[in-house]
Amino acid sequence: MKHINHYFVIVINLTNNTMGTLFKQNARTYGSVEMKDVDLFLEDVKSLSEKHKVPVENVLEAYKIKEMKRTNDLYVNNGDAHDEQMSGIGELLKELVQAIES
């Protein structure tokens, strides 16, 4: 059961990242899934199933719902970063126009 929190910490960390802006974009971190990760995940699913006395299918469905929320949070975060970058580009264009007009 000690590995269960591992999956949910990832979601929290991704949604609480500071927003990247133009010229200050955080480096992206890419992760891969190894067989040991799958094994730990399956152990966690089995453990949660036993703990809550529900079928494994229910645990997997709950995980899918959490993944949909994580995906949505990532899209929102991406949209926020895009908005900030567009604002930065707009400010640069405004300064360029002012410099040309001067």
pLDDT tens-digit map of 27-85 = 777 777 888 999 999 999 999 999 999 999 999 999 999 999 999 998 998 888 888 88
Global model pTM greater than 0.75: no
Between CA 72 and CA 15 the distance in angstroms is 10
- pLDDT value, residue 83: 86
Which is higher by pLDDT, 86 or 26? 86
Task: Read off φ and ψ for residue 40, nearest 5 degrees.
Answer: -65, -40
pLDDT at 19 over 70: no
